């Protein structure tokens, strides 16, 4: 998996409020599962355009610190926090999380939603994030998983390092965490997330025909759309998994 978000996703997710196949209702459910409140300190790794951070801070009054590598996403997140009147409680640092030291036991919850590629995969992500959470706190990862195996022989992209939901929970529990919640995406969540890619990319291509990246983005878009319709909609799941750090 790449360690940074490719140009394709910067374009494709330029209209997304939530950059994962989930919903505001499920993020609020997550906040309740984490028992977030006005005294909670939360870290959001690869915070993107700031959707989850702003939503959780608005609803629960918590303090959230985000780390985001892409300037395009970071700028939007800062604007969204300011527009919501949350700039004192929701901050975003423009930085590469791979090289960003995290203080030990400093946070009540650490989130990494759909971005375990930052640390080379799920196991590496947990190794980095778990020490930053206080005992009794939570690590939350948003991670794809295969709904069933084996995959069809004609499935085009077999490079994804995913496993089943059971296997994903096993990885979460391989260290000092106990998996205490799974909040899985629905088919509607997936369709909303994926088809917004389609409309955003088509508009961008129509407006940027001379862009040197246009041909590559068109090819990636066509392949991603085909893969989603033929295979991923049936075989690929996504869930926010909550790990409790045992005291």
Give the model's pLDDT for residue 77: 98
What is the dotted CATH code of the domain comprising 14-186+238-245? 3.40.50.150
- Confidence band, pLDDT 50/70/90 cuts, at residue 158: low
Give the model's pLDDT for residue 160: 76
Q: What is the mean pLDDT of residues 157-170?
A: 88
Mean pLDDT score of the chain, rounded to an integer?
A: 94
Using one digit for the tens of pLDDT, what is the confidence trace for 194-233? 999 999 999 999 999 999 989 999 999 999 999 999 999 9
- Torsional sign, CA 58, 107, 115, 171: negative
- Torsional sign, CA 172, 176, 182, 185: negative
Q: What is the mean pLDDT of residues 160-175?
A: 94
pTM of the model: 0.93
Q: What is the mean pLDDT of residues 171-188?
A: 97
Is 50 exceeded by the pLDDT of residue 2? no
Using one digit for the tens of pLDDT, what is the confidence trace for 40-60? 999 999 999 999 999 999 999
Q: Would you say 111 and 91 are in contact if contact means Cβ atoms under 8 Å apart? A: no
Q: What is the mean pLDDT of residues 227-243?
A: 96
- Confidence band, pLDDT 50/70/90 cuts, at residue 4: very low
Phi, psi of 196 (to 5 degrees): -70, -30
Using one digit for the tens of pLDDT, what is the confidence trace for 80-135? 999 999 999 999 999 999 999 999 999 999 999 999 999 999 999 999 999 999 99
Distinct helix (H) and strand (E) counts, the chain: 9, 7
Give the model's pLDDT for residue 161: 81
Is 70 exceeded by the pLDDT of residue 3? no
């Amino acid at each position: 998996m790449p360690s940074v978000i490719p140009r394709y996703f910067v374009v494709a997710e330029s209209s997304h409020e939530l950059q994962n196949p989930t919903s505001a209702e499920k993020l609020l459910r997550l906040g309740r599962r984490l028992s977030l409140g006005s005294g909670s300190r939360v870290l959001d790794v690869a915070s993107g355009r700031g959707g989850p951070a702003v939503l959780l801070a608005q609803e629960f009054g918590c303090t959230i610190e985000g780390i985001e590598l892409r300037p395009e996403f970071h700028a939007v997140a800062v604007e969204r926090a300011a527009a919501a009147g949350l700039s004192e409680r929701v901050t975003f640092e423009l930085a590469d999380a791979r090289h960003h030291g995290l203080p030990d036991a400093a946070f009540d919850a650490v989130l990494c939603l759909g971005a375990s590629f930052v640390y080379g995969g799920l196991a590496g992500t947990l190794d980095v994030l778990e020490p930053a959470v206080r005992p009794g706190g939570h690590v939350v990862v948003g991670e794809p998983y295969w709904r069933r195996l084996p995959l069809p022989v004609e499935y085009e992209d077999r490079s994804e390092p995913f496993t089943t939901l059971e296997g994903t929970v096993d990885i979460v529990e391989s260290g000092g965490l106990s998996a205490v919640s799974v909040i899985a995406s629905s088919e509607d969540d997936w369709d909303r997330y994926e088809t917004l890619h389609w409309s955003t990319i088509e508009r961008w291509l129509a407006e940027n025909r001379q862009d040197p990246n246009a041909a590559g983005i068109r090819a990636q878009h066509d392949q991603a759309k085909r893969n989603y319709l033929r295979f991923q909609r049936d075989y690929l799941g996504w869930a926010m998994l909550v790990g409790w750090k045992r005291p």
